[in-house]
Amino acid sequence: MEQAELDALLTREGLNLLDSLDPVETASDVARSVSRLRAAGHSPGLVSAVVGQARLRVRAGAKFGDMANRMLFTRAGLEQATRLSVAMRHAERMRRAGIVSVADLGCGIGGDSLAFAGLGMRVHSVDADEVTAAIAAFNLAAFRPECAVSHGTAEGADLAGVDAVWLDPARRTGGRTETQRVGADAYSPPLDWTFDLASRMPAGVKLGPAHDRDALPEDCEAQWISVDGSTVELVVWTGALAREGVGRSALVLRGDSAHELTAQTDTEDEPVRELGAYVHEPEGAVIRARLIGDVARALKAGPVASGIAYLTGDAAATSPFVSSFRVRETLPADVKHLGKALRSRGIGTLEIKKRGVDIDPAVLRRKLGLRGDEAATLILTRIDGKRVAVLADRVQD
């Protein structure tokens, strides 16, 4: 979104028009809405802004729920925004630590600031992009004057009277639509500056979950977070926001439930085991935090092979930190014989999972020529250096 589009949208006519639109989900919805609004005499700029926002609101429902229908977005801002369920966890940690005032440096469209303000904190939100800062101000308007938004850089923010900072360094090129990832040496604000500030006052620093672990500061808590099966972020907590005795943590959110593993440091892995009656796939946050060993011991399981993040064992047990599968049998790993075996078992619906093998599940599924009414899971991995196909059934939690 450009400034002219935002100016057109932030009028009584623009906002009323946006709120009056039906959900815009598909290209057909876009074409239909544009035609109707243009026929009603609205300007091309206003129509473009309103229909674009209507479509972004639909997409934003996955992160912000019903609140999305009262917010504005840029495409890049929505992609990079923290899910509200995760932001509330950040805010709850701030409140437990006694934080009253927080600076959100690099606030984007204001997702984390909404959570902080919603729990009663005073919030100073800053973003380097003028249009994004204006959108954040709109999204946070209900919390004025306790929540103020300004256009500026993180480095230039006034932190007088602030108890803690939340930093979300930009990890993509500038822009409000299509952006590209950049290396850690090109983050904005720079990581050296970010970690220096975090060493001097309580801070939470949001990073990508694949961030180089060796580049994290000492004496911090590194928390990886998974949401409904996707590993979404790494947060580095410092000062009063870091829990005593916790150096690594894995927070797993599924629906309305939350489960967490914590440890002082990486935990020791269990020895490799022969394939047993069950295969367990640890959540990405557990893998990133290197806490697989604790999960394996709780399940009386061990890795199927060195360096492969699948666990196996004979105990009929599962946990919120894994997805579990009951093994039916092993099948030939080559496509021709594997497809024949699956068709002979009447398997027409197949979930394909893989680790340690270079396979595109979508391409493989087409080659298998599946037919039948049965459903199963196929786990492709390497055991003893050989490709293995494990036919299994997902164990419900």
- Distance from CA of residue 387 to its chain's centroid? 31
**What per-residue confidence (pLDDT) applies to 392?**
98
> Which structure tokens are listed for 235?
């947060």
Convert 14-35 to b/e letters by CB count within 10 Å (16 or more is b). beebbeebeebeeeebeeebbe
CB 81 within 8 A of CB 111: yes
**What per-residue confidence (pLDDT) applies to 331?**
94
Q: Which of 257, 281, 261, 252 has the alpha carbon at shortest distance from 381? A: 281
Rounded Cα–Cα distance for residues 271 and 341 (Å): 32
First to last CA, the chain: 43
CA atoms within 13 A on the CB side of 43: 10
Q: Which helix (H) or strand (E) holds 25?
A: none
Q: Which residues does residue 237 pair with via DSSP β-bridges, in sequence order?
A: 204, 221
- Determine the residue type at 74: T
- Distance from CA of residue 102 to its chain's centroid? 22
> Which structure tokens are listed for 58?
């639909």
Report the chain's C-alpha Rg in angstroms.
24
CB 313 within 8 A of CB 276: yes
Residues in the chain: 397
**What per-residue confidence (pLDDT) applies to 129?**
93
Predicted structure pTM score: 0.91
Residue with tokens 């604000």: 189
Contacting residues for 323 by C-beta, under 8 A, at least 6 apart: 229, 280, 281, 283, 394
**What per-residue confidence (pLDDT) applies to 316?**
92
CB 305 within 8 A of CB 273: no
> Which structure tokens are listed for 19?
């709120």
Convert 288-312 to b/e letters by CB count within 10 Å (16 or more is b). bbbbbbbbbeebebbbbbeebbbbb
**What per-residue confidence (pLDDT) applies to 168?**
93
CB 279 within 8 A of CB 304: yes
Q: Which of 253, 244, 252 has the alpha carbon at shortest distance from 221? A: 244
**What per-residue confidence (pLDDT) applies to 179?**
63
Rounded Cα–Cα distance for residues 110 and 96 (Å): 21
Give per-residue pLDDT as tens, 212-268.
Answer: 999 999 889 999 999 999 999 999 999 999 999 999 999 999 988 999 999 999 999
**What per-residue confidence (pLDDT) applies to 184?**
79
CB 83 within 8 A of CB 232: yes
**What per-residue confidence (pLDDT) applies to 397?**
67
Render each residue's pLDDT in the chain as its tens digit; 397 residues: 788 889 889 999 999 999 999 889 999 999 999 999 999 999 998 999 999 999 999 999 999 999 999 999 999 999 999 999 999 999 999 999 999 999 999 999 999 999 999 999 999 999 999 999 999 999 999 998 889 999 999 999 999 999 999 999 987 666 555 566 778 788 889 999 999 999 999 999 999 999 999 999 988 999 999 999 999 999 999 999 999 999 999 999 998 899 999 999 999 999 999 999 999 999 999 999 999 999 999 999 999 999 999 999 999 999 999 999 999 999 988 999 999 999 999 999 999 999 999 999 999 999 999 999 999 999 999 999 999 999 999 998 6
> Which structure tokens are listed for 140?
């946070």
Q: Which residues does residue 374 pair with via DSSP β-bridges, in sequence order?
A: 347
**What per-residue confidence (pLDDT) applies to 121?**
97
**What per-residue confidence (pLDDT) applies to 174?**
62
Asked if the bond preceding 189 is cis, omega within 30° of 0, the reply is yes
**What per-residue confidence (pLDDT) applies to 183?**
82
